[in-house]
Structure 1
Amino acid sequence: MITATAAQPSLWRQYLVLTKPRVSQLAVFCAVIGMFLASPGLPPLATVVAATLGIWLLAAAAFAINCLIEQEIDARMLRTARRATARGTISNTQVLAFSGLLGGLGMAVLYNLVNPLTMWLTFATFVGYAIIYTVILKPRTPQNIVIGGLSGAMPPALGWAAVANAVPAEAWALVLIIFIWTPPHFWALALYRNHDYIKSGLPMLPVTHGKKFTQLYVLLYSIVLLAASLLPFVIRMSGAAYLVAALALSGLFVCYAWRLYREYSDELARKLFRYSIVYLSLLFAALLLDHWIALL
């Protein structure tokens, strides 16, 4: 017989879940790609390590604040009901202290071991996600993920700033790709988790405008994403190897979105959501590979 105590995750794991490790891993990965693209050769290892750590710490702090603010909403949703904030196994004061510790350490690392520009940009991203998106936009408009998507799109710019101490047009092109990728990625999740979002009370697009309308938006954004993914080639930031990868990856994204629009099923929406994560990872990996090919 499994007791309630035995079934409950360990305390450190409960804290880890508050940092949304899967989401933060993808964000940090995109930031690291930005670091390598910002350098004509290999960037300084010490800078890469310090920037990665600092960006992750501030991202984790922002996610913890998000869980704190949305604890009542999370408690109503199957996907998030087991978070410690939703179950009340970690107090609000403990979450605030945890977030403050992570955020403070992250800012100190970035300011002292990287550069002030990266620290301030990362702090602005923290405010954009934890406050502007979570508190202001998410509960008020079905376009929350579109408007608030900028904070989630910033990692490549943060990584670029860490190495170059500047954020040129090339970095903003990468930010734009993630900014456009975010809505179809998140709306695919919202489609197959529609009942959860109805219970949450959040004005997500499938709840306020219906599934068919959302499916159309997913398709339209996927087409725009295809165009945006070609920007690195258009501005001569990358070459033919990236172009081929971008066309193949983005073309498959559009195919998934088209199928979802024509013959919706929760399974198709789930497949698109999962592919969208693979898509972004492979697209940025292709950028780095093309960058290294150009150096040979």
Structure 2
Amino acid sequence: MTTLTRAHHNQALWRDYLELTKPKVVVLMLITSLVGMFLATRAGVPWAVLVFGNLGIACCAGGAAVVNHVVDRRIDALMARTHKRPIAVGRVSPRAALIFALILALSGQALLLAFTNQLTAWLTLASLLGYAVIYTGFLKRATPQNIVIGGLAGAAPPLLGWVAVTGHVSAEPLLLMLIIFAWTPPHFWALAIHRKEEYAKADIPMLPVTHGEHYTKVHIVFYTLILLAVSLLPYVIQMSGPLYLLCALGLGARFLQWTWVLYRGARPHAAMNTFKYSIYYLFLLFIALLVDHYLLLTL
């Protein structure tokens, strides 16, 4: 490879900076944030809050993701799933990435302060620091329960969306947050089983590495049962109606079926299939909440 070609290959493009923000993860977070906003009111969400509030949340989430790339760059270089990430291969320098993360975080905070309220801005900042500093910088390398404890930061978007509209915290958004908190362990541990050897190579104490696959599978089933129970609570507290209840039962039963298949080792690639289904599960569950909300308003 010539020097000119190598320089072109290593040059950062806008796609590299976009990749640093983990856009697919941010989109899923924004869906839960949007649902939180719409569930918070019987009237329409003000357009400025809807647009700029979610943009602010997205910027802060993206900034936290960039920090994750910087901190994990040596780990990323060792893992097949992540070894082509922009910082790991040298297309983006850690310094440039941190400047980018700071710009995103400050822009996000400015948008939230200007178009929502101070409580939303503070809660978003706490979520950013929880993921970028506490989880990425400490918990991920410190304990096999890293994803359980660190899951609080990733569970915040529906609470942020709700507070952006109402200006206060109440039981309903905390329940939405609890659903994502219970969803995170079976979602991520399924991926961790699939990538067990890579985490071991990178010396990351994920549960399958420290306690074995059987132990992890038992806990995946256990947390999925908790998730199924928690997902029914919006109906119990009359936050949602029968449509959501049926969707939560159906989606939860299917999730439990996949975790049981994973536990029994009955199918190849069950871990990755469980991981993929978990993403569809969360997306469809929150869409069901939203559809049910507006159905109730029309009755």
Once residues 135 and 268 of structure 2 are traced to their aligned partners in structure 1, the CA distance between those partners, rounded to angstroms, is 27
Once the 2 structures are TM-superposed, how far is the Cα of residue 94 of structure 1 from its aligned partner? 0.4
Q: Which TM-score applies when normalising by structure 2?
A: 0.96
Once the 2 structures are TM-superposed, how far is the Cα of residue 195 of structure 1 from its aligned partner? 1.5
Matched residue SS, 1:123: helix
Change in Cα spacing, 1:107 to 1:16, as seen in structure 2 (3 Å) is same
Which residue number corresponds to residue 54 of structure 2?
52
1:115 aligns with 2:117: yes
Which residue number corresponds to residue 92 of structure 1?
94
Which residue number corresponds to residue 151 of structure 1?
153
> Aligned letter for 2:63?
A
Once residues 36 and 236 of structure 1 are traced to their aligned partners in structure 2, the CA distance between those partners, rounded to angstroms, is 16
Matched residue SS, 1:85: coil
> Aligned letter for 2:176?
L
Q: Which TM-score applies when normalising by structure 1?
A: 0.97
Which residue number corresponds to residue 201 of structure 1?
203
Which residue number corresponds to residue 20 of structure 2?
18
Give the alignment partner of residue 62 of structure 1, picking from 48, 61, 64.
64
Once residues 69 and 91 of structure 2 are traced to their aligned partners in structure 1, the CA distance between those partners, rounded to angstroms, is 13
Once the 2 structures are TM-superposed, how far is the Cα of residue 264 of structure 1 from its aligned partner? 5.3
Which residue number corresponds to residue 82 of structure 2?
80
Matched residue SS, 1:40: coil
Q: Which deviates more from structure 2 when the two are superposed, residues 37-46 or residues 279-288? A: 37-46
Structure-to-structure mapping, 1:1-296, within 5 angstroms: 11-263=13-265, 267-296=269-298
Deviations 1:79-103 (A, max 9, x none): 1111111112211210111001010
Once residues 94 and 53 of structure 1 are traced to their aligned partners in structure 2, the CA distance between those partners, rounded to angstroms, is 22
Once residues 267 and 91 of structure 1 are traced to their aligned partners in structure 2, the CA distance between those partners, rounded to angstroms, is 35
Once the 2 structures are TM-superposed, how far is the Cα of residue 20 of structure 1 from its aligned partner? 0.5
Once the 2 structures are TM-superposed, how far is the Cα of residue 10 of structure 1 from its aligned partner? 5.5
Matched residue SS, 1:148: helix
Once residues 34 and 8 of structure 1 are traced to their aligned partners in structure 2, the CA distance between those partners, rounded to angstroms, is 41
Matched residue SS, 1:139: helix
Length, aligned pairs only: 296
Deviations 1:115-157 (A, max 9, x none): 1111000000000000011111110100000011000000000
Once the 2 structures are TM-superposed, how far is the Cα of residue 41 of structure 1 from its aligned partner? 2.2
Change in Cα spacing, 1:65 to 1:248, as seen in structure 2 (3 Å) is same
Once residues 269 and 27 of structure 2 are traced to their aligned partners in structure 1, the CA distance between those partners, rounded to angstroms, is 25
Change in Cα spacing, 1:193 to 1:266, as seen in structure 2 (3 Å) is farther
Q: Which deviates more from structure 2 when the two are superposed, residues 52-61 or residues 81-90? A: 81-90
Once residues 267 and 89 of structure 2 are traced to their aligned partners in structure 1, the CA distance between those partners, rounded to angstroms, is 31
Give the superposed CA RMSD.
1.6
Task: Give the 4+ runs in structure 1 shifted more than 4 A.
Answer: 3-10
Once residues 208 and 11 of structure 2 are traced to their aligned partners in structure 1, the CA distance between those partners, rounded to angstroms, is 33
Contact 1:191 1:266 in 2 (8 A): no
Identity %: 49
